[in-house]
Each structure stands twice: as C-alpha cells, then as structure tokens.
Amino acid sequence: MFNDKERFKASFLQRLEQSSGVSFENSTKRDHYQALGMMVREHVSTNWIASNEESRKGEHKEVYYLSIEFLLGRLLVSSLINLGVKDMVQQGLEELGIDLRELEKEEADAGLGNGGLGRLAACFLDSMASLKLSGYGHGIRYKHGLFEQKIIDGYQVELPEQWLRNGNVWEVRKPDLAIEVPFWGDVQWIDKSGKLTYVHEHAETVLAVPFDMPVIGYDTDRVNTLRLWGAEPAKHFPPHKDFMQYKRDTEQISEYLYPNDTSNDGKILRLKQQYFLVRASLMSIIRDYKKNHDHLYHFNEYVAIHINDTHPALTIPELMRILIDEEGMRWEEAWSIVTNTISYTNHTILSEALEKWSVELFKPLFPRIFMIIEEINKRFCKELWEQYPGDWDRIEQMAIVAHGYVKMAHLSIVGSHSVNGVAKLHTEILKMREMKNFYGFYPDRFNNKTNGITHRRWLVQANPELNSAISNAIGPDWVYRTEELKKLSSYANDSSYQQQINEIKLKKKQELARIIHDRNNLKIDENSIFDVQIKRLHAYKRQLLNLLHIMYLYNQMKENSSYKPYPRTFIFGAKAAPGYDYAKKIIKLVHSVAKVVNNDPVTKDYIKVVFLENYNVSLAEKIIPATNVSEQISTASKEASGTGNMKFMMNGAITLGTQDGANVEIADLVGPENIFIFGLKADQVMQYEKHGGYHSHDYYHNDRRIKKVVDQLTSGFFRDSFYDFETISDSLLMENDQYFLLKDFHAYVKAQENVADAYSDRDRWLQMSIHNIAQSGFFSSDRTVSQYAKDIWNIQPQQ
C-alpha cells in the first residue's frame, strides 16, 4: 500500500471510494483524512498483531505506564513520519490535487491532558515504541478532553471539547476485554478453605471497556498499544437504583478530563476516575500475565508498572488486594512483589498540588482498599518507630493516613522501589526539602530523570525545513541518536549555514504571522523579535512579569520620544483552570495591554502583543519553530522541569529564563553566553519563604518604573476593565508578592535589554541559535526513556 507512490495513489483512491461511498470528485477533506487514516491503521495491523503476540508469549519484561493524562495531539503525520512514508504520501496526494497539510487539519487534536505532565506521557509512548521497548500506556478515554478556550471581550470562556465528534480512526473498541470496576458497598470476610479472606460486597459496578490505539515507533516493526478505558453501564446494575441515574453516574466517569491541574475539586468523581483507571489496568495486565504464568510469585520479574504522578497511586493497594484476597498470598510476600513492581514519578512540589483525600470521602467509596491502606500505614509507622523511637513529630509528618486524610505522595513513596524527580534541581529539592524525611529513610529510592520531548514530533515533524538543514549538514543519523546534533556546533560560525538557519526561521515566522493574521486579524512585523510565552496560566509561571515588562516598555516610549526599542512581537498562549480567577484576570490583562500598545501610534510599530486562543499541541507545533525568544520565567524552585523550554531550544530559540527546572540544565549545556539567565535562585527563594525578609512594598516605593506599572493596574489606565485588576495589584502589594515578581523585575528588564542587544547583532544571535540546537539532543525523550528502562524498569529493547 505504501511501497511506492503509484501503488499508494491507487490504493488511496480505492479506499476513498470504499470508505466514503462517494466518487473522488465529490469527496471532502474529511473523507480524505478518513481514508488515509484507515490505510495507516491497516498497514500497521500486521506488525501490531505480531508485537502483541510477542508480548503474549510472556518471555520478556514489559512496562506499563499508567497516567491519568495523555496529551497526544494529532497522530496522522507523526505516524507517516515514523513509518518513513511521509514524503512519498505527500507527493502522491499532491499529484491527486490534495494538500497533506490541509488534510492533517481534519484530525481532532486529542487533548486528553492539561499540559506538561500529559504531554510527557505522550512523548514517552513515542520513545518507548521507537526504542523497541515493550511499553504500554494505560489511561482514560475521556469523551471530552481539555476544554476549548474562546476569548470573548478579552475574557476566557470554556466550551466542551468534542474530539470524538467524527469518530477516532486510530482506536479499536474491545468489548470482550471489558473489566468490572466496583465502588461503594461493604467488606465481608469469608472462610476460604480454612483461610480468612475479605470480599467486597454490595458494590455498584461499572464496566471499563478498552479502546486500543496503536503506538507506531520510528523505523521499527514494533507497534505498542495505548489502552484507554471508557466507562459503560455493567450488565448487572444495582437493583435499588434508577437505571437512567445509574447510567449517568457511570458514563460520567469517562466524560470529562479534570481541567484543574493544581488543586482538587469534584472530588468523588475524580477519585472514581483514579480507581477506575487503576482497577481496569491491573486486572487486564494480570489477565494477560496469567496466560503464561501459573501464579504471581514472579510478577515483578516480568512486569514493571510506572505511575505518572500520584493519580494512579491506588495501584499500590489494589495490587496488594489482588495478591492477598484473590491469590491468597501472605502480606509480606505481596508487599515485596508490589514494591518491586511499582515506580513513581513526582511532578511537583507545590504543596497545594500534592494530592490528599479525606478519609470520610475515601473510605465508603473503596472500603477494602481503605483497609489495605490503613494496614500499609500501620506497618510503615511501626518501622518508623523502630528507626526513630519517640520521634512523634517525624512519624506524624510521614504517615500515609493522618488527621483524617490519605496522602497520596506518601503512599506512592512507601509502596514503590523508585521515586524520581523530573530535573536535577527538582530532585535535589525533593531530597533536601519537600521529601527530606523520606529521603532520610529511603536514601536509595530517590533518583533523577530529567524530562525530555520527542524530537520526531517537535523537530522532524513541526520543522521539516530545519530537519533538512540539519541532515544536510551532519547526515541523517542524528534522528536515531540525538547526541549527534552536537556536530552542528562546528557550523555555528559558518556564515552560509547561519544564513540558512536565518531563512528557515524567517519562513516559519511568516507562516505564524499568517496564522495570527487569520485568527486575530492582526498584522505583525515578521522582522520583529518573536518573544513567546506559551504554557498553562499559573501565578508561579509569572506571565504577569512578562506583562509588567511590556507595560514598562510602553511607558518608556511614551515618556521619551527618542526611545525606540528593537521591534518585538510578544506572543502569549495559555489556558486558565476554569475556577482559577486570578489566572483568568491575567488573560484579561494580556488583552487589555494588547489593546493599548497595539493601537497607540507611538508604540504600535515597535511593540505588538498577541494572544493566541486555545493553546494546544497542534498550535504549539506552529508557534515553536517561529520563536526567537523562549520565555521560561517561573519563580525559581517552582517549575519542576518544564518541557516547553526543550521544544524551543531544539528549534533554535534562545531561552530567557530563571534558574529553575530544566533551564538550569539547558544553561549548563549551552554555556552562559548562549542563554539569558536572570533573577533569584531557588535557594534564595526558599530562604525568603522560610525566614521572611522580602517586602514587596520596598520595591514598589523605591523603583519608579515598578510603581508606575503597578499603579496603572488600578488607575483607570485600562479603561475598559481596570477594576478587574485590583486583585492582581493586591497580590503584588497587600499579599507581599508571593512569587517575587517585583524582586526580579529589575533583573528581568536588564536581561530583556541584553536580548535586544544580542538580537541586533545577527551573526551573534544565529551563532547562539545553532549552539542551542546542537546541545538539544540531551533533551530527547529517547534519552529519558532509556534511563527509565535501564535504571528503573530494568527492561531491554526487543527485536
């Protein structure tokens, strides 16, 4: 089908007629997308079956990656690239008068995640398959992914996202493999041949139905599986309940992705989602395992289970339940298998984001699971007591269940053999501060795995021009071994190569300018500096610092008519959690600032502010290749790693950032001359947090630039909406500026001046840009996943 262009064209036309039931002349773009998608799926099916059969033999260890989020984006073009047929398909379609880039847009962007954590899971799937590892993703098939963002009058409005509206060509529903998931009810004990065994009775049961999607690796026959579970009514529904009510309660479980990635709301539903994922995944893993093994005593030698943050942490008590209640093991035997099977990644140290559930809520929903957690806690506290006799404070602090709450991070650490942070700095903070007591108790358990991104999507696919320029210079092998990108360094001072890189960047900027024109009806200067901050909206990410700087630039120009800054286009993209009012006000502020600076005759040719609505993976693929300056300006110590920073670096943008998360590692790799680092360091921030000593009022009163921009928030400067910004002003003054914006303001302004100076020296800038691309190979998720495979999962590549 994909062997050569002529055969491809013939198959495509044939498939198109079969699947759409109309002639080529009358077919639509959607018909074309559908036909090509089905061809890809059919093409990989043989390898998919072979990979599954290989797994079913049960000879090799496999890893299951459990995640409540998978932020996949579109899959068609990445599949074509991984199959090595994209160029041929593109030409074939072109000869039929079809533009692959248009057809691509017919695919819904699968947004089953909030941001970085979900996107990491998607990059890991791509890397596991490309490295020929048998690695399976398990997640939830949310009917509605992350909300679609509309901006009305500068305000965010959330609409339900409908990625399944036109079906999903990649998935296969497997009703025969459905699993029952029980909630509520009570626990009885029965005498099972002389042994006391607990059973969960009178439960309300929900059916988890798997939808399997192929995960195609790059240039390999390996096809892994992403299994997403959908909730459906079970055959035996509770007799006392109205069926319609039961159906609604059931289907709700896989209805919506939880849109808030910091705090907890909609608690029961959220908890149900977590157990639903865990129970269905474990039961299906064990069902497969038992096809080749008589018992589970060697389970951890063949199966590794990784939990992406604490959302799937119930895997720990659930696996205990299966081993004890169903397999009849003793506690100690079961515990050893559980802890040797499970590993855990911590993604945040923000205390409001550490999951905890009230016992009141938890216990009735999972009566048996709660008993097991209590027993785990009891035994753990006993161990602590033996090591630290009399140290009640420490034991109270470390307990899994305390003061009426179940602490999921504590459960995850105690119940696994590996706990990893996602960047060097983050792991150090975990060990030395947040999880200090746990590190003291389990020093060998903690390790670092700096995040990564798949260079196949974020460079080969998103920036084909740069991909060619790299391969033309250093050969194509870097796609298999991204460390080889380092060879590009020798081209950094080559002026003809610099020129090539310059032209590619300009082309990508022109493409983005067109998108901005189409979407926002705004003309932007493609020769201006494209200065970009795209990420979820959070106070700690400090989009506000960026805005205060823009307001300062505006004020400078208004006050001093001879001041002409290097022209800049400031581009923002961000979704705010629906209940996060502060974040929503910042979105409004972006629009208010834009309205002022984009329309003032003094500034409009020098400063433009653009907000691109509905930031998601597909939009990121368009923005990142066009970026000159990558804004990574979180308060030091708050951003665990960041992965946006890596995507930008790989596309030749220069980071303007704090010493936070993976920025620190980017700086180490490229050297201080190829990055703009500013502001407080993590240990300084933590010192202030602990001992005080920072007074934002001092900065407000002593720096007239700061006073002016902060006053403008509430002075009526933004005529349409000034009262909106009182809470923002209060956060900076009344609440003493928790994220140190005013403290870092001066350093940020200086760093921005250095950016402008560097940019006006074209050779220097292009040299910096090439050095960044050359050093970005370390941030391929292939490197990250290889480290997980070797150090945590203990699995080897197949074939």
Q: Which residues are catalytic?
A: 347, 535-536, 541, 643, 647
Residue whose CB is less far from ligand PLP, 429 or 646: 646
Which span sits near ligand PLP by CB under 6 A: 321-329, 506-514, 637-645, 789-797?
637-645
The amino acid that residue 92 corresponds to is G
- 450: contact with ligand PLP by CB under 6 A: no
Taking the complex as a whole, the smallest distance from the CB of residue 555 to ligand PLP amounts, in Å, to 28
Residue whose CB is less far from ligand PLP, 367 or 679: 679
Site string for ligand PLP, 115-134 (x = CB under 6 A): xx--x---------------
- 418: contact with ligand PLP by CB under 6 A: no
The structure tokens listed for 526 are 């493609």
How many other C-beta atoms can be found within 10 angstroms of the C-beta atom of residue 247?
A: 14
Taking the complex as a whole, the smallest distance from the CB of residue 615 to ligand PLP amounts, in Å, to 6
Taking the complex as a whole, the smallest distance from the CB of residue 645 to ligand PLP amounts, in Å, to 6
Q: Which of 103, 271, 369, 617 binds ligand PLP (CB under 6 A)?
A: 617
Q: Which of 642, 652, 657, 679 binds ligand PLP (CB under 6 A)?
A: 642
Which span sits near ligand PLP by CB under 6 A: 113-121, 325-333, 481-489, 687-695?
113-121
Which span sits near ligand PLP by CB under 6 A: 180-188, 615-623, 694-702, 728-736?
615-623
CB 796 within 8 A of CB 681: no
- 583: contact with ligand PLP by CB under 6 A: no
Question: Helix, strand or coil for residue 312?
Answer: coil
Taking the complex as a whole, the smallest distance from the CB of residue 4 to ligand PLP amounts, in Å, to 35
The structure tokens listed for 408 are 């999921």
Taking the complex as a whole, the smallest distance from the CB of residue 643 to ligand PLP amounts, in Å, to 4
Residue whose CB is less far from ligand PLP, 617 or 706: 617
Residue whose CB is less far from ligand PLP, 115 or 135: 115
**CA nearest neighbour of 413 among 443, 378, 452:** 443
- 462: contact with ligand PLP by CB under 6 A: no
Q: How big is the site for ligand PLP, counted in residues (CB under 6 A)?
A: 12
Which span sits near ligand PLP by CB under 6 A: 89-97, 519-527, 638-646, 678-686?
638-646
CB 728 within 8 A of CB 712: no
Residue whose CB is less far from ligand PLP, 406 or 633: 633
Distance of alpha carbon 409 from alpha carbon 118, whole angstroms: 18
- The secondary element (H helix, E strand) that includes residue 570 is strand 568-573
Which span sits near ligand PLP by CB under 6 A: 152-160, 277-285, 616-624, 670-678?
616-624
CB 273 within 8 A of CB 31: no
Distance of alpha carbon 303 from alpha carbon 136, whole angstroms: 11
Half-sphere exposure (Cβ direction) of 604: Cα atoms closer than 13 Å = 8
The pairing of strands 405-407 and 356-358 is antiparallel
Residue whose CB is less far from ligand PLP, 116 or 210: 116
- 657: contact with ligand PLP by CB under 6 A: no
- 399: contact with ligand PLP by CB under 6 A: no
Q: Which of 635, 643, 663, 775 binds ligand PLP (CB under 6 A)?
A: 643
Which span sits near ligand PLP by CB under 6 A: 232-240, 596-604, 643-651, 756-764?
643-651
User: What is the end-to-end Cα distance of the chain in Å, rounded?
Assistant: 24
Residue whose CB is less far from ligand PLP, 411 or 785: 785
**CA nearest neighbour of 571 among 618, 515, 498, 617:** 515
Classify the phi-psi angles of 638: left when phi > 0, otherwise alpha if psi is within -120 to 50, otherwise beta: alpha
DSSP bridge pairs for 418: 343
Contacts 24+ apart (CB under 8 A), 98-103: 98/32, 102/29, 103/29, 103/32, 103/33, 103/36, 103/76
Which span sits near ligand PLP by CB under 6 A: 168-176, 440-448, 461-469, 639-647?
639-647
Residue whose CB is less far from ligand PLP, 213 or 422: 422
- 145: contact with ligand PLP by CB under 6 A: no
Residue whose CB is less far from ligand PLP, 204 or 613: 613
The structure tokens listed for 762 are 């074209």
Half-sphere exposure (Cβ direction) of 466: Cα atoms closer than 13 Å = 33
Taking the complex as a whole, the smallest distance from the CB of residue 575 to ligand PLP amounts, in Å, to 9
Distance of alpha carbon 491 from alpha carbon 513, whole angstroms: 28
- 775: contact with ligand PLP by CB under 6 A: no
CB 344 within 8 A of CB 412: yes
Residue whose CB is less far from ligand PLP, 321 or 538: 538
Q: Where are the alpha helices (DSSP H) in 346-494?
A: 359-365, 367-387, 392-398, 408-414, 424-429, 436-441, 455, 464-474
Give residue 633's Cα distance to chain centre.
18
Q: Which of 644, 652, 657, 777 binds ligand PLP (CB under 6 A)?
A: 644
The structure tokens listed for 428 are 């150090």
**CA nearest neighbour of 308 among 214, 225, 223, 419:** 419
CA distances, 649 to each of 341, 378, 453, 722, 769 (Å)? 35, 48, 11, 37, 8
Taking the complex as a whole, the smallest distance from the CB of residue 462 to ligand PLP amounts, in Å, to 10
Residue whose CB is less far from ligand PLP, 422 or 609: 422
Q: Which residue is closest to ligand PLP by CB?
A: 644
CB 148 within 8 A of CB 111: no
- 367: contact with ligand PLP by CB under 6 A: no
**CA nearest neighbour of 502 among 621, 629, 628, 655:** 628
Give residue 128's Cα distance to chain centre.
16
Residues from 511 through 570 that contact ligand PLP (CB under 6 A): 535-536
- 452: contact with ligand PLP by CB under 6 A: no
Binding site for ligand PLP (CB under 6 A): 115-116, 119, 535-536, 616-617, 620, 642-644, 647
